[in-house]
Amino acid sequence: MKVLLLGTAAGGGFPQWNCACAMCGNPTLPPRTQDCIAISADGTNWYLINASPDIRAQILASKHLSAGPGPRDTPIRGALLTDAELDHTLGLTMLREGAGLRIWAPAAVLRALNHDFPLRDIVSRYGAWDWQAVTTEFEVDGLRVTVIPISDKKPKYTQSTVDGPWVVAYRIEDPAGGTLIYAPCLKTWPENFDTLVSGTTCVILDGTFYSPTEMSTATTTVTSGAQHAMGHIPISGPHGSLTKIAAHPHTRWIYTHLNNTNPILDPNSPEYQEVLEGGAEAPPDGTELNL
Ligand code: MLT
Ligand code: MN
Ligand code: ZN
């Protein structure tokens, strides 16, 4: 299985357009676009996981995703959505010129995109797409996908009371070799996660915040409670994800969805050194994995 890390930042990207913090203002740090990956069993047909608002630039930056060979052909066949958040769905509007895409998402997410933020109706006026609700398992072009229910965290734009899961992760197995878990939105370490991770080649994990109180330290307008309410497990600390990773030394661990406050955006920071020593990494946008 081939995997392209198209984007690795949280909503807003890095740097964020309206942020004058020391990190966003540091021109030496590598910029990152909002998180999105592409997967392929054969290197010819590609499927996105999530559709970042930056998808147009991400596609243009990847030689694997160039249009062709016919005048309106694209190697992008569809997208799997982990949730209904704006940073994971807005990109679908950028793909509206493409007919026939297949979109997989949990039922609550599909409903939100019908009612609360009617993106499905909007894009369907440009071309017919196929929308599939996912529950437990499905197949995407020879790749076996298992749905991992994560939480009922809803986007800010909806008051919906529809049953979840609202957030899922995906485990993707290539029968020819290689397994990947993509989990960009974790509030806590899921109960059965260690079992699911065992034998997985690579896990791409929620790395939004390094510390449990980072947002309140970086900005005066956000309280530490607000960070917790955003529902992202921190990397560091006694309940952070880095302590959990140690149990799986044979798996490659990659942090994604990095918020613009996260000190690991600086590859020379002591915090990033700690991540490396803990057995994880945060490679830049454009990284290709062969699992
Ligand atoms: C999140 O990851 O918590 C959301 O994407 C926040 C947002 O709306 O930008
Ligand atoms: Mn997000
Ligand atoms: Zn900033």
Structure token digits, residue 128 = 């017919």
Q: Closest Cα to atom 3, ligand 1: which residue?
A: 230
d(CA 134, CA 222) in angstroms, rounded, equals 35
| pLDDT confidence of residue 77 | 98
| pLDDT confidence of residue 16 | 97
| pLDDT confidence of residue 231 | 85
Give the residue extent of every domain in the chain. 2-290
Q: 87 in ligand 1 pocket by Cβ < 6 Å?
A: yes
| pLDDT confidence of residue 220 | 58
Q: 85 in ligand 1 pocket by Cβ < 6 Å?
A: yes
Q: Closest Cα to atom 6, ligand 1: which residue?
A: 11
pLDDT in tens, the chain (291 residues): 999 999 999 999 999 999 999 999 999 999 999 999 999 999 999 999 999 999 999 999 999 999 999 999 999 999 999 999 999 999 999 999 998 999 999 999 999 999 999 999 999 999 999 999 999 999 999 999 999 999 999 999 999 999 999 999 999 999 999 999 999 999 999 999 999 999 999 999 999 999 998 887 766 566 656 667 678 999 999 999 999 999 999 999 999 999 999 999 999 999 999 999 999 999 999 999 999
Structure token digits, residue 80 = 């799997």
| pLDDT confidence of residue 219 | 63
Q: What is the CA radius of gyration of the chain?
A: 18
Q: 11 in ligand 1 pocket by Cβ < 6 Å?
A: yes
Q: What is the pTM of this model?
A: 0.96
Tell which atom from ligand 1 comes closest to the C-alpha of 10.
2
d(CA 257, CA 204) in angstroms, rounded, equals 9
Residue 227 Cα to ligand 3 middle (Å): 15
Residue from 109, 151, 230 whose mutation best tests the ligand 1 pocket (most atoms within 8 A of CB): 230
d(CA 13, CA 52) in angstroms, rounded, equals 10
| pLDDT confidence of residue 221 | 63
Q: Closest Cα to atom 1, ligand 1: which residue?
A: 230
Q: What is the DSSP letter of 31?
A: P
- b or e along 55-90 (b: 16 or more beta carbons within 10 Å of the residue's beta carbon)? beebbeebebbeeeeeeeebbbbbbbbbbbbbbbbb
d(CA 110, CA 118) in angstroms, rounded, equals 10
Q: Report the topology of domain 2-290.
A: Metallo-beta-lactamase; Chain A (3.60.15)
| pLDDT confidence of residue 91 | 98
Q: 10 in ligand 1 pocket by Cβ < 6 Å?
A: yes
Q: Is residue 31 a contact partner of residue 13, using CB atoms and an 8 Å limit? A: yes
Q: Closest Cα to atom 9, ligand 1: which residue?
A: 11
